[in-house]
Chain A
Amino acid sequence: MAEVALGTGGAPARPRRRHVGWVPYALLAPGLLWLLVFFAAPMFTLGSQSLQEGNVFDGYVFTGNVSVYADALQKYWPHLLRSVGYAGAATVFALLLAYPLAYVIAQKAGRFQNLMLVLVVAPFFTSFLIRTLAWRTILSDTGPVTELAQRLHITDLLQAANLINNDTLLSSKFAVIAGLTYNFLPFMILPLYASLDRLDHRLVEAAEDLYASPFQAFRHVTWPMSLPGVVAGTLLTFIPAAGDYINSRLLGNTQTIMIGQVIDTQFLRVLDYPLAAALSFVLLLLILALVTTYVRRAGTEELV
């Protein structure tokens, strides 16, 4: 990029190419080795496993049986769609909650900035499982949250929206999406905070000086300049949420089973390894396709 600006005066003689040597490769080696052992190798195993046939008692043998993918898709496409839908909804809610919070922490918190950041990360001090179990208590049928929601007729509203099945909050679509939103919220807040913290407030002042109302200044300056954070945050929320198997199990019902839970069950309870492996692969490709489309459309290359 910089070369474009400088290179108007005719191409100067290129300095002799510096000797590159082995240092970059040496620096890359540990990371590449790590990826090879812990990513590439398991992927290969998973792939070959999905093409095996047999059962857990007689053992599985590789037969190149591709039809398992057709079976998997035919049987579990609703779960795949549901996972994408729930993860998408959770991502949107997390963005709506995280953006104002990240903005305040980055631009307005002053000396409370570090404290607020610690509070954002604080839930990570307990395990994912415990946190999700805590939500069972919070949303329990006789708890104050449910009671308040009933009194304020929020339950009626949710019921009308088909997010809960009866007059209680737990074991419902609503609870699963709320759990996902909560569990991945910090992954949304932190990248947003990072890009909003870098935002030079003088740019917003310049926009207001140039007749932009506060809303327009947000729309034309703050928002586009925070897009890298938005993209990073939505990916960090969506990807793990789409494969999550805890929230749907602990907070949902039989109608809210997500694909992660199916894979979990197939692997550990049904012991149908080829099907579980095939589902894992399908999920992987689906997320990859969605993310690629999304990043293309968000056009992060265009951003600073």
Chain B
Amino acid sequence: MAEHESGDLQLVGLSKRFGEFTAVHPLDLTIPEGSFFALLGPSGCGKTTTLRMVAGLEEPTDGRILIGDTDITHARAYQRNVNTVFQSYALFPHMSVLDNVAFGLRRKKDKDAKRKAQEALDLVQLGHTAAKRPNQLSGGMQQRVALARALVNRPDVLLLDEPLGALDLKLRRQMQIELKRIQQEVGLTFIHVTHDQEEAMTMADRIAVMNGGHLEQLADPTTLYEKPTSTFVANFLGQSNLLRARVTGSAGEGLARADVQGNEVVIDAAKVPDGLTDVWVGVRPEKLTLGESGGRNRLHGTVVDASFTGVATQYLVRTAAGADVVVVQQNDGSARAAVNENVTLSWEPGREFVLDAAQDDHAGMDEVA
């Protein structure tokens, strides 16, 4: 892979306006060479627009795009060593599958175009369809052809715009593993756009969460899940219980005292944003325990709903102050609660995250994920 040093992809203050409407607000991102990067966000948040700017299909309103030290902001699409797997596949209907895959290589006057294209087709397990027309293939197969067509060129950056959108769940999982394997094998930089949070978390090294044309948070999957920096991210990625709290003082040992609906709890002082007293204390459902064995912090309430999901049971508990809290309990033989039972919830200090109370606690909840 050391044929050419390509370097990191850098977006510097990149923005796009369509008339009055700003699709992408100034965006600063560095995507390390060879990484699997996911762009995650609800429908219409500007993911495709961002990709199109990187591909050279959309002129940025402002900002710069660099690969390594090379500024490609004003390079035409065909001059950039960047390839795209389009959301709509965009396969050429008048060419065979093989000719589709060989298209990029032939434009670059590659003598070995045919053989390489056949290899790329084999890689996505479609070697036997080489002579067919794209419209003779199923949606899932077409997506894999689109992937092969982009991959075969070994671009500096491969852009994937929801490449697995049309696949059923099983094939989707299979292709996720396959994609990840291919990426590690060829060592290209992948930018994978998706609005499936699970897909982003299982595949990517780093994830940028976008919302309404803004970058909400950029982190690795674990950090994103454990330490979301906004209520949008907390709600968009998995479930979160956001409890309104007031920080009342220090509890020593790096802990802070806080009042949650009349219950005194202690939280990790380092997680409290500087100088804030009105906060959301966020606890993920699986970090709460029914009963008192979970840790020092306690909440009290009544079970209003319990749903059995196999490995776990999900409870909805209404606290005395009227807040609904979701608890997920492993079905590991520990005691279970029934509806209408009064229960105590507990968690260990430090397993929570803390956000500014000025943020909307419903942000990102109704988004189509």
Contacts and interface: CB of A to CB of B under 8 A. Distances in A.
B104 A211 contact: yes
B116 to A, nearest CB: 14
Interface in A1-20: 1-2, 4-5
B36 interface: no
A210 B136 contact: no
Contacts of B137: 5
A202 to B, nearest CB: 5
B136 A209 contact: no
Contacts of B149: 210
B86 interface: yes
A219 B103 CA distance: 12
A207 interface: yes
A224 interface: yes
A208 interface: yes
Interface string B148-168: 011001000000000000000
Interface string A224-249: 11000000000000000000000000
B78 to A, nearest CB: 5
A213 interface: yes
B83 A209 contact: yes
Interface residues of A, number: 26
B92 A209 contact: no
Contacts of A26: none
Contacts of A302: 94
Contact of B90 (A4, A203, A211, A216): A203
A4 B136 CA distance: 8
A212 B84 CA distance: 14
B170 interface: no
A71 interface: no
Nearest to A217: B78
Interface in B32-84: 55-57, 76-78, 82-84
B136 A212 contact: no
A5 B136 contact: yes
B273 interface: no
A203 B92 contact: yes
Contacts of B125: none
B94 A208 contact: no
B54 to A, nearest CB: 11
Best-surrounded residue of A2, A206, A302 (most CB of chain B within 10 A): A206
B263 interface: no
Contacts, number: 73
A210 to B, nearest CB: 4
A203 B150 CA distance: 14
A297 B41 CA distance: 51
Interface string B86-109: 101011111000000001100110
B104 A210 contact: yes
Nearest to B109: A211
Given A210-B104, A213-B78, A205 B136 contact: no
Contacts of A216: 78, 107
B236 to A, nearest CB: 29
Contact of B153 (A200, A210, A213): A210
B86 A210 contact: no
Interface in A261-304: 302-304
Contacts of B136: 1-2, 4-5
Contacts of B17: none
Nearest to B83: A209
Nearest to A200: B90
A137 B64 CA distance: 59
A221 interface: yes
A205 B90 CA distance: 9
B132 interface: yes
A205 B133 CA distance: 20
Contacts of B133: 1
14 contacts: A2-B136, A202-B86, A203-B93, A207-B103, A208-B57, A208-B77, A209-B55, A209-B57, A210-B78, A210-B103, A210-B104, A212-B78, A216-B107, A303-B94
Interface of B: 55-57, 76-78, 82-84, 86, 88, 90-94, 103-104, 107-108, 132-133, 135-138, 149-150, 153
Interchain residue pairs A-B with the least CB separation, the first 4: A210-B104, A206-B90, A211-B107, A5-B136
